[in-house]
Structure 1
Amino acid sequence: MTNRYRIYTEPLIGRVTASRNGRMLASSDLAVVMYETRLAPTIYFPQKDIVAPMSDLTNLQTFCPFKGTASYRDLELPDEHLANAVWSYQAALPESRAIQGHYAFRPDVVTDMDLGENTLCDNNSDHISGPVVDWLLREAAYIKTPEEFTAALSLKLREHGVHLSRLSVMLWSLHPLIAGKNYIWEKGVKEVSVYAPSYEIHDHPNYLNSPLRHVSSGLGGIRHRLCTDVPGNSFPIIEDLRAKGATDYVAMPMLFSDGRRNVLTLTSDHPDGFNTANLGLVFECSAVISRFYEVFMQKENAQSLLETYVGKRTGARVLGGEIRRGDGDEIDAAIMFCDLHDSTRLAETLDRAAYIALLNQFFETTSTIIHDHGGEVLKFIGDAVLAVFPAGDDAKMACSQALKAARAIVEHSADREDPDPAHQYECSIGIAFGRVTYGNVGSRERLDFTVIGQAANLAARLNDYAKRKGHGIVVTRDVAGAREDMEELGPLKLHNMSEMVQGYVARVPEVA
């Protein structure tokens, strides 16, 4: 049978002996050989016929969807220690029941295998082809989203004859808020379901007692024939699937190139479940399938990391190709510089953890308010926040939104309740409007996406002035406009500014 993955065992005739450098390791009249697509034939010996001293089980386990989970032992020879030199399947799957309780040696351990009158077959001529492989080679690369890829993969597997009713992929991510993405395709459901669990998933009972945790933790894959297994002798999710008519379930690791262990699960509702050819196809293609998902996740990780470190709008520009020094645009924008008061005192009076927690709370609140008013945080500078409110065609709106955000920030800091007076804080804000360069500056090796221009410098100087004079918000004439809730300060002489600047204090309603 060609063009299909296959696995089968045959008993060997007479005595077969495995040796290492003249030392006998095993000798048996009941040895069997396993043939598996793409793998060299493997000789398995009954446990009673292993004569070399073996250690207790080691921590290493590997998973095969046809054979089950393999456990490993060391060989303790008089003159050498061979780590994980021998493996066995103590609970082999039905397709491989003939090797249950038998042991095989790592290929490099055996220097001489005396097969007696046996001749092994050449088992490396088989290959996999058909709709799935053809699709992976020709069409899959043009799919743009992991949702579309998951749906197309599932349908291609069914087209190839895999009796698939559900496919799930759990991909771990690099994101400050979410642990990963879980994509689930189900037969008869139009859309692929997508879940983005937070890091609390690692402590959730449903995850702790799940195949996802088992496989992700390196404990091997899982195969349950639900039409024969005893209910209650598996994970809750598997019993839920059994109740819905599932007959077979497989969970296998899907490795990324950086070593992250993701999880691919397959469920069947066919009366006979999956056959060897079904799982062999997936097993053969799993490395390629994994690379497609890795590309999707790398793109998502790049976007999430850029949004985390430089902001959503700026991150999109960098991903859009603005990556060289000098790339950027001149834009009109309201620039906000917000600074925490008495940070030196806070750092001295609070322990490190409490001070970091207070800073994080300040940044979280400030960032949320800025984003809610159409602005973007460009960076945190020590205990200060630099934000931009692009004007587009509406300069008045940009100034108005920046002012509203500033008032909300100051009101929140004043209204904030904390039982410990040492945790109270205030902030000052400077806002200026003008044309700035919004783009990359820095060295050839290290760039910073920021705003450069008179308005950015002026916002920082207004903030310094506000802090010294005890004002909450100080703005320029352009930002103040004709609003009545402004207190004119007159011309201000600001540090390193050659000309006087007309300043205004934005009044903030008293907190009750």
Structure 2
Amino acid sequence: MAADYEISFEPSRRRVRVEFNGAWVADSTRALILHETRQPPAYYFPREDVQMALLEKTSQVTHCPFRGNATYWTLRAGGTVAENAAWSYDEPYAEGAPIKTHVSFHPERVSAIYEGDDEIPHLARSQGSAHPNSIAGWLLAEAWQLATPDQLVDGFCRCLRRQGVPLARMTVIIPTLHPQVFAAVYVWREESGVRTVYEPHDILQQLKFQASPFAPILRGAGGVRRRLEAPSCKLDYPVVRELRAEGATDYVAMPFRFADGQLNVLSMTSFAKGGFSTGHLGEIYEVLPVLGRLLEVHAQRRTAVALLETFLGRRTGARVLDGLVKQGDGEHIAAVVWFSDLRDSTALSQSMPREEYLAYLNGYFHCLAGAVLKKGGEVLRFIGDAALAIFPVGGDSQAACRQALAAARLAGERIAADNAAHPARVPIRYGIGLHLGEVTYGNIGVPERLEFTVIGSAANAAARVESMSKTLGKTVVISSAFAQAYAKPLEPLGRFRLKDVEGEQELYTLPA
């Protein structure tokens, strides 16, 4: 495989000029021609032969794993602007040393490039080759069939190994849109395959990340290549020093982008003598955009699932992904309905600074809603300072009741601990109402704005039961329907009339 991808340089034997909007931007008899497998020739000019006054440095940086990091210039002449039309390798790797500080131009972004008096045609990237990229063949024929991103990363690494790439380790970092997770990290090892790690947002503040090459790469600084065998190798990152101590011979970390511009990182380590050749890196670099698109598909689905689970709930999000997306879509289910409410919220919101009240409210929800999720419930919505949740019955109503009571007890423990941890703050007080009944679980609203929730008399009854918690001075109030299904001792509170609920209702609370 290594011989299938090559780069070489040769001096142009003729005068080479670049024209842009009527101005000669470059004019040289010392231009170098870069020949690269399946790429059109590129002309590089010494800066002394370029009108650098017409170029303005930009922040764009791209990375080639065998040439290094390229910086870019915008071209301005006669009132016309060509963004990022020229690039240069200021500190190239060894393979790119002949073009150090030379400038090259995108043929499609300038008016013309001439060799002698002949205009050089703008050649598209070669579509055919005597040495087709076999990695690309695998990506097109097999990779799209892999169902998960970890399978894709594992398959890609094993494909590289089959093609003779001396790969021992790979790490792929994909930042994600998630309230708790900063990035999905796929760690491949030759001996063990892929391990997936979901790094939290606070990884950004941790030294191990800040001191890694991944941090500057994700900020747009290009890539990193360290030939660890070389005595003069720059040991500027802890991971580089650790790999060299382990006997690694080559380390490459390079960015790749998604269609929306998001930067991601792929790193590779070799322990073989000589490390990665230009041919190895060339073929990988060539297919990286295709690999990126396949990973992007998986990332977008993962993001969709994560956002649906976060904003709708795990079960509800799954139902939406399963196709329950139209107004009126839904089902009738039996469930324990949980309704909880924060006490004195109006007075608290008026007496506390906004940020303090939001922190107070989120602390309350963390204790109560977090307990619901911990015990297998589904939080459907937050209504101001109230929360609506369900514990679907499935085939066992008593089990659903046990889950709900376990969540109520855990919520009480968490609230007590939080209040004890903040003795100077107004203590959190709340009420929980629990009821068991039939609800309609589905989409309501207008076609342009739907909400997946529960509706029906059981949901209304749970809210009415909760409203009695303040009247009765109890934190948890339980309906008779719940008590009958639970079939274990509860403390009776008496019979009461509930607003919009027919007849008197026997109410209960947790036993002391």
| Both proteins in one fold, TM over 0.5 | yes
Contact 1:91 1:100 in 2 (8 A): yes
Q: How does 1:128-277 map to 2 (within 5 A)?
A: 129=132, 131-187=134-190, 189-228=191-230, 230-277=232-279
Q: C-alpha distance in 2, partners of 1:395/1:53? A: 78
- Say which SS state the counterpart of residue 220 (structure 1) adopts: coil
Distance 1:313 1:39, change over 3 A: same
Once residues 51 and 432 of structure 1 are traced to their aligned partners in structure 2, the CA distance between those partners, rounded to angstroms, is: 79
Q: Following TM superposition, by how much is the alpha carbon of 1:340 offset from its aligned partner in structure 2, in angstroms? A: 0.6
Given the alignment of the two structures, is residue 436 of structure 1 paired with residue 439 of structure 2, yes or no?
A: yes
Q: Which of the numbers 372, 375, 378 marks the counterpart of 2:374?
A: 372
Residue 494 of structure 1 corresponds to 498
CA 1:385/1:229 → structure 2, altered by over 3 Å: closer, same or farther? Answer: farther
Counterpart of 2:455 in structure 1: which amino acid? Answer: I
Q: How far 1:80 moved relative to its partner?
A: 5.9
What is the letter of the counterpart of residue 494 of structure 1?
Answer: L
* One-letter identity of the residue aligned with 1:486: E
**Residue aligning to 2:361:** 359
What whole-Å deviation, never above 9, does each CA across 1:168-193 have from its counterpart, x for those lacking one?
11011111111111111122x22312
Residue 508 of structure 2 is matched in structure 1 by: 505
Deviations 1:151-171 (A, max 9, x none): 111011121222212121101
Tell me what 2:478 maps to: 475
Q: 1:19 to 1:259 in 2, by over 3 A?
A: closer
Q: Which amino acid aligns with 1:214?
A: P
392-401 vs 413-422, which moves further: 413-422
Separation in structure 2 between the aligned mates of residue 496 and residue 327 of structure 1, nearest angstrom: 27
Q: Given that residues 251 and 264 in structure 1 are in contact (C-alpha distance below 8 angstroms), is that contact kept between their aligned partners in structure 2?
A: yes
CA RMSD of aligned residues (A): 2.7
How far apart are the structure 1 equivalents of 2:300 and 2:429? 40
Structure 2 Cα separation of the partners of residues 61 and 203 of structure 1: 24
- Partners of 2:205 and 2:325 in 1: CA distance: 39
Secondary structure of the corresponding residue to residue 101 of structure 1? coil
Deviations 1:423-481 (A, max 9, x none): 31211121111122222223223222222222111001111232344332222212234
Q: Distance in 2 between matches of 1:78 and 1:327?
A: 61
Residue pair 2:343, 2:429 contacting (<8 A) in 1 also: yes
Which stretches in structure 2 are left out of the alignment for 5+ residues?
A: none
State the match for 1:23 in structure 2: 23
Separation in 2, partners of 1:455, 1:13: 87
CA contact (8 A) 2:258 2:293 kept: yes
Give the aligned partner of residue 333 of structure 2: 331
Q: Check conservation: 1:256, 1:294, Cα contact below 8 A.
A: yes
Any idea what the Cα deviations from partners look like across 1:401-441, whole Å, max 9, x if unmatched? 32343244345435622545553121112111112222222
Partner of 2:403: 401
Q: Distance in 2 between matches of 1:106 and 1:360?
A: 53
TM-score by length of 1: 0.90
Say which SS state the counterpart of residue 25 (structure 1) adopts. Answer: strand
* Matched letter for residue 315 of structure 1: G
- Aligned length in residues: 506
Matches for 1:445-460 after TM superposition, within 5 Å: 445-460=448-463
Per-residue deviation, residues 113-151 of structure 1 (Å, max 9, x unmatched): 342389979783654635422322222222112222111
User: 1:24: how far off?
Assistant: 3.2
Amino acid at match of 1:10: E
Give the superposition deviation at 1:33. Answer: 1.0
Measure, in 1, the Cα distance between the counterparts of 2:381 and 2:461.
17
- 8 Å contact kept, 2:68–2:91: yes
Inter-partner Cα distance in structure 2 for 1:7 and 1:120: 20
Identity of aligned residues (%): 38
- Counterpart Cα distance in 1 of 2:119 and 2:335: 80
For 2:345, the equivalent position in structure 1 comes to 343
1:316 corresponds in structure 2 to 318
**Structure 1 residues 342-384: Cα deviation after superposition (integer angstroms, max 9, x where no partner):** 1101101111111111111111111222233332212111111
Task: State the shift of 1:79 in Å.
Answer: 5.9
Rounded Cα–Cα distance in structure 2 between residues aligned with 1:66 and 1:313: 48
Gaps of 5+ in 1: none
- How far did residue 66 of structure 1 move? 2.5
Cα gap change, 1:328 to 1:76, in 2 (>3 Å): closer
User: Tell me, what secondary structure is at the counterpart of 1:201?
Assistant: helix
Distance 1:43 1:315, change over 3 A: same
Relative to 1, partners in 2 of residues 1:105 and 1:257: Cα closer, same or farther, differing over 3 Å?
A: closer
Aligned counterparts of 1:303 and 1:91: Cα–Cα separation in 2:
43
Letter of the 1:66 partner, please give it: F
Measure the CA separation in 1 of the matches of 2:97 and 2:120.
20
